[in-house]
Structure 1
């Protein structure tokens, strides 16, 4: 693993996952993981071990996947509140952490999104006329 620090990781230092900010945190995490080409680790679990009798290329692919997953897991854990870090520090891989966090906080943001959409739609109607298109402005 490289010891060179990703300058984009500062985004995660400023936006630590606390729960209600899940969508913002996930967007920032994906920015960092995209820059490292590790985003696939969020949804795909790495194999538990390299297959017996695999070729050198297959073994290298497994090692790369393991290294990418470990680094992505470190980014995730480092950008969580202390309480969440303790909860997920022993998780098997990045995909497991992502799944559990999504289950915990994914639905909490739905009312916020609904409120934003409702306000945006109301502003649109106020600016462009009524729903029926009667041309009122």
Structure 2
């Protein structure tokens, strides 16, 4: 109508006005059209809209979720050498920094025949603390 009055619209403005006048059910189509910067003439756009409308009636516009099983990386473990210990290879191998001393010193009573978790003085203090806490 505007062209008859002597005011011609550019193709881009005409397409934008046409897409804005569509129903809400065409929002995915409009979003796809704008995201992909598709440049079509009005007759081509009308054909695309008819195809999209046919797909909507068939129910072809439903989303499909594809789930794939992730590939897992397996840790390589060396076979036992007879002493019950295994060695891990690669990046995941843990290395002891200082080693473990079997004849350690108790941090609670400073005796060298046991560790704090086995200290009779420490264990007795824990029992007393629990008894006092339970009675209060």
TM-score by length of 2: 0.23
TM-score by length of 1: 0.23
For the pair shown, which has the larger CA radius of gyration, 1 or 2? 2
Task: Flag the structure with more relative contact order, 1 or 2, with Cα contacts below 8 A and sequence separation at least 6.
Answer: 1
